[in-house]
Structures are given as structure tokens and as C-alpha cells.
Amino acid sequence: MEKTLTLFGCMDKNLALREEQPAPLIAKSTPNAKRGFERWDRSNCMSIMIMKYNIPEAFMGIESKKIARANSFLDKIKKCFAKNNKVEMTSFLTSLMLVKYKGQGNIREYIMEIFHVTSRLKALKINLSDELFVLMVLVSFPP
């Protein structure tokens, strides 16, 4: 999803994601208001088309024909793909507890792999002390 949002920014098509929908046009609308509405509407249509192309409907769980605004579409996609931090924490903690050095490969790379898991846990606001990290590494080595 981040790649798609970056693409919108590079193409200058993220107007519909940055700004709210302008007021509907009326007969007395100024040419400047008409131009602004047309820019926003084009940005909205392009954003929706690109998002629909990049995310298959089977994964979205959203009927794409009902989508009228890129912002609401993006919000629905975010809800569908919301991360469950507890599951992610459990997964990282389990892998940290069960990791064992098998005697093959570079020890430095192995330690960096464990460090990567602990840094992911820190990103989830679970701070492990350096002493615990060292202990986890030492315990994972064979006797």
C-alpha cells in the first residue's frame, strides 16, 4: 500500500487523498472552482483505479462498484489489512524463545538475525534489555 501512495505522490495524483471533496458544482460556480473540482475528481478517479488494480478484490472484501471516494476506499482497505499487534508480538517472542544455533553458518549472521527479531519487538514497544539479549544468544548455542 505504501508503494501505491508513493506512486500517487510522484504522479501528483494524491489530491483526492490530501484534500476533502470540494463542494458540488452549481450553475454559479466560478471557473476556478470548476477547475479545482475537475482536478480533484480526476485525482479521485485515478486513485481509485490504481488502488483497484494493485489490490485484488478477493483480498479487499469490499465491493469496488460502491466506492466513490479514494479516501473512503483507502480507509476500508486499511481496516481489512489492520495488523494485530498481539499476534505479531507472540510470533516474534516465540521465534526468539525457540531459536537454536545449528552449528552451521556464520555466528555473526545468526546473532544479527536474533537482533533483528528483538528490534522488531522494540518497534512493537516490547523492550528487551541488552543483558536479556545476550542471555538469549548464549542459551541458543549448543552445549
Higher pLDDT, 60 or 12: 12
User: In Å, what is the CA distance from 65 to each residue of 48, 49, 69, 84?
Assistant: 11, 11, 11, 28
Question: What would you report as the CA-atom Rg of the chain, rounded to the nearest whole angstrom?
Answer: 24
The band of 70, judged by pLDDT with boundaries at 50, 70 and 90, is: confident
pLDDT digits (tens, 9 = 90+) for 27-58: 888 889 888 888 888 888 888 887 777 776 65
Average pLDDT over residues 12-41: 83
Average pLDDT over residues 15-23: 81
Distance CA 131, CA 116 (A): 16
Distance CA 53, CA 117 (A): 33
Where in 1-143 does DSSP place strands (E)? none
pLDDT digits (tens, 9 = 90+) for 104-130: 888 898 899 899 989 888 888 888 888
| Positive or negative torsion for Cα 100, 106, 108, 114 | negative
Is the pTM value of this prediction over 0.85? no
User: In Å, what is the CA distance from 14 to each residue of 17, 54, 57, 118, 132?
Assistant: 5, 16, 22, 36, 45
Distance CA 116, CA 101 (A): 15
Q: What is the pLDDT of residue 2?
A: 66
The band of 10, judged by pLDDT with boundaries at 50, 70 and 90, is: low
Q: What is the pLDDT of residue 62?
A: 58
- State the DSSP code for 66: G
pLDDT exceeds 60 at position 60: no
